[in-house]
Amino acid sequence: MEDWSDCLDVAVQIALRAGQVVQSAVKQEKQVSSKSTPTDLVTEADHQVEELIISTLREKYPSHRFIGEESSAAGVKCELTDHPTWIIDPIDGTCNFVHSFPMVAVSIGFAVRKELELGVIYHCFDGTLYTARRGHGAFCNGVRLQVSKEKDVSKALILTEIGAKRDPATLDIFLGNMKKMLSAPTHGVRIIGSSTLALSHIASGAAEAYYQYGLHCWDIAAAAVIIREAGGHVMDTTGGPLDLMSRRVVAAGTRQIADYVVKQLQPINYGRDDTD
Ligand code: IPD
């Protein structure tokens, strides 16, 4: 039985290298364009970093498969099979990157037989490195991570992200969901502009829950391993098992807070990563 520890070591080295590219690219002028909607941004750096990550991994693991944000946007089929598959977001928080808002990450997940085995998330601005391997714990810069044990939603800090759709019907549901979270009452709701870093905050116990409609498998893959290995829960917005391709997620430190969030949410339909 493979333990994939060499893959974790390789992923860490590549995430650090990719992070250096992002750090120098953020200081330069950016070529920005949009993808699915005017608010779904991409830059030359996203393409460059994805190419760096995939080509390096492919050289090391020629039989492995790849799902990457920018390859998928360019039409490569987003398909999770039983084969060892790397799931990559080269720059998570592209809008933040464009504005030099300091919440930008490189995210590398890895799945085998559709089971998420490892995750690496590198915060490009402050150098924080989150890592986890299934069954072996989650770490932040080498220090073991533990989710919040809070069960009382009135003491919870909740994180979410907006997603790319801004039509009035979607915004009404988005704001309605946020209103429910605020009026629980919780301690607060935060939006930081990077799904992977927000999810990392669930793993570190800095916030109690995260929910979102409209994110992608490359936003969830690495973070799901890190949160679970830190003792947390990652699930579908209905409360059922996580479906990596479903473009929706709830994550929480405790099952009680996850259940509360699930009960409040009105769904927003973003389709699926593997059919769009
Ligand atoms: C996006 C960001 C954003 C979230 C989107 C993600 P990207 O990733 O994490 O905060 O709302 O759902 O897709 O496009 O910056 O890699």
Active site residue 276: no
Catalytic residue (one of 67, 91, 202, 257): 91
**215 close to 251: Cβ distance less than 8 angstroms:** no
Catalytic residue (one of 117, 150, 208, 219): 219
Protein residue whose Cα sits closest to atom 8 of ligand 1: 92
Q: Give pLDDT, residue 1.
A: 63
Q: Give pLDDT, residue 146.
A: 98
Active site residue 82: no
**Mean pLDDT value of segment 63-73:** 95
Active site residue 152: no
Does the reported pTM lie above 0.90? yes
pLDDT in tens, 110-138: 999 999 999 999 999 999 999 999 999 99
Protein residue whose Cα sits closest to atom 6 of ligand 1: 215
Query: Does the pLDDT of residue 168 top 80, yes or no?
Result: yes
Separation of 3 CA from ligand 1 center, angstroms? 30
Q: Give pLDDT, residue 276.
A: 59
**pLDDT more than 70, % of the chain:** 99
pLDDT in tens, 1-40: 688 999 999 999 999 999 999 999 999 999 999 998 999 9
Separation of 127 CA from ligand 1 center, angstroms? 19
Measured CA to CA, the distance from residue 68 to residue 76 in angstroms comes to 9
Active site residue 117: no
Separation of 215 CA from ligand 1 center, angstroms? 6
Q: Give pLDDT, residue 59.
A: 97
Question: Is the CB of 216 within 6 Å of ligand 1?
Answer: yes
What domains can you pick out in the chain, each with its CATH number? 5-144 (3.30.540.10), 153-264 (3.40.190.80)
**pLDDT more than 90, % of the chain:** 98
Catalytic residue (one of 46, 50, 70, 92): 92
Q: Give pLDDT, residue 240.
A: 98
Query: Mean of the per-residue pLDDT values for the chain?
Result: 97
pLDDT in tens, 185-211: 999 999 999 999 999 999 999 999 999
